[in-house]
Amino acid sequence: MARTGDRFEMPDGSVYAVTSAAGDTGGEFVGMEFTLPPGSIPPPAHVHPGPVEEYEVIEGELDVMVAGRWRTLKAGESASVPVGALHTFKNRSGETVRVRNVHRPAARFEDYIEHICKLMRARGITDTKNLRDTKNLRAPLYLSMVMLEYPETLAPGRRRERLVINALARVGRLLGLRTTV
């Protein structure tokens, strides 16, 4: 279980730092600071079945899509994602972006992030920018499998994401991939 102060460094160079762990807030919320370098991999469009998600840009510019509408947030600006709203985010700016992020209630969000980080490291997936490395071709399989293990946290948002994520997870299972660390 993640704790306040934990930092999770992902293969794409992004860092997710826990600023308020669910255990410290009684599960009321989890707070993180995301550092997203240029070229970081955005999550697929998804929904949160229970949590409201909030973004506040500390540095740089973050593109956020909520309910099909994209907007660019600059330092000092924020956005809120209502329960069940389709959303995603990405760094298109070419500069590093730092973002405060809150999920309310926590719904195991920090466990999901920790799981991804530890799994990628344990499987030797250290740089998703070089897809010629065959180790990295497993990353989408593992990410899809893990996403489906946290249905109270997030779910693929549209039919096309559901189809792809379910198919990738199935291929991963057929190949004998395991998400336990």
Q: DSSP string covering 90-151, please?
A: E--SSS-EEEEEEEES-TTHHHHHHHHHHHHHHTT---TT-TTSGGGGGHHHHHHHHHTT-T
pTM of the model: 0.93
Q: Is the pLDDT of residue 171 over 80?
A: yes
Pairing of strands 61-66, 52-59: unpaired
Q: How much is the average pLDDT of 90-119?
A: 96
Three-state DSSP at 42 gives coil
Contact 142, 124 (CB under 8 A): no
Looking from the CA of 156 toward its CB, the CA atoms found within 13 Å total: 19
Contact 16, 10 (CB under 8 A): yes
Q: How much is the average pLDDT of 153-163?
A: 95
The pLDDT of residue 78 is: 98
Residue 93: closest CA among 72, 79, 77: 72
Q: At what angle do helices 159-174 and 139-147 cross, to 10 degrees?
A: 110
Name residue, tokens 């998400």. 179
The pLDDT of residue 136 is: 67
Q: Residues 39, 152, 6, 82: is their CA dihedral positive or negative?
A: positive
Q: Is the pLDDT of residue 126 over 90?
A: no
The pLDDT of residue 127 is: 74
Amino acid in position 76: G
Domains of the chain, first to last: 7-174 (2.60.120.10)
